[in-house]
Amino acid sequence: MPRCPSCNKLMTHSTQENVRLNTCPGCFGIWIEKIALNRLARTPAPPPADGSPEQSLQELAEIVVESNTKGRLHCPVCPVDLVKDRYHPLIPVEVDRCPKCAAVWLDVGELPLLRRLFAELQSSTDPQVMALRDKVANTALAMEQMHQRTRDLQDINTGTGPLGFGGYGSLGAGSSPEANAVGITMDVLINLLTR
């Protein structure tokens, strides 16, 4: 069982919506495979089981601003440091990912915020949000076409391709600098989604 990269406690297995992950009993952060995170982030979270009101986007964001690890963390599995990366060009949540095993460390509150922002971004009919979505999708498409041309030219038959920190589904985008340039700040995003 891996230890927490943040507080070094032994993590425990758990599941959320049938997705397996590791939770730290000390700081309540989450250690999760990239593929599992991509799936979970795109699944809207169920309402609180105890009937209490859902936290607002602003409240969720405040928890994350507070909990986000500033220092460099070490992968609990591989002998490398974790890399700080925005999870998605439109979602200003910085996560720590391992460049070797591709697992991701999420400080407490980051997963609920990711899930909420994905849901809000996908359902928003605000023209500015829709324009941003299009921009990310078009950038992703252009990047994919470029990668495809590169693959055709080089006749690479590995089938793995240039894996970005992505799999962004219907929101599009990859982890290229071009796609990340579409990124906006948390304040701007929350303003767009809550007005």
Residues lying near Zn ion in the complex (CB under 5 A) are found at 4, 6-7, 24, 26-27, 75, 77-78, 98, 100-101
CB of 106 to Zn ion, least distance (A): 11
> 98 or 106, CB closer to Zn ion?
98
Smallest distance, Å, CB 83 to Zn ion?
Answer: 10
Q: Based on CB atoms, which residue is closest to Zn ion, 45 or 78?
A: 78
CB 24, min distance to Zn ion, A? 3
In the complex with Zn ion, which residue's Cβ is closer, 82 or 91? 82
d(CA 164, CA 136): 14
In which order are the strands placed within the sheet that holds 91-97?
A: 12-16, 19-23, 30-33, 103-106, 91-97, 83-88
Residue 103 CB, nearest distance to Zn ion (Å)?
6
Cβ atoms of residues 20 and 40 within 8 Å:
no
Dihedral angle computed from the Cα positions of residues 80, 77, 172 and 176, in that order, rounded to the nearest 10 degrees: 10
DSSP, res 7: T
Three-class SS state of 28: coil
Of 57 and 77, nearer to Zn ion (C-beta) is: 77
Least distance (Å) between residue 23 CB and Zn ion: 9
Q: With both helix axes pointing from N to C terminus, report the angle between 110-123 and 34-41 in degrees, rounded to the nearest 10.
A: 50
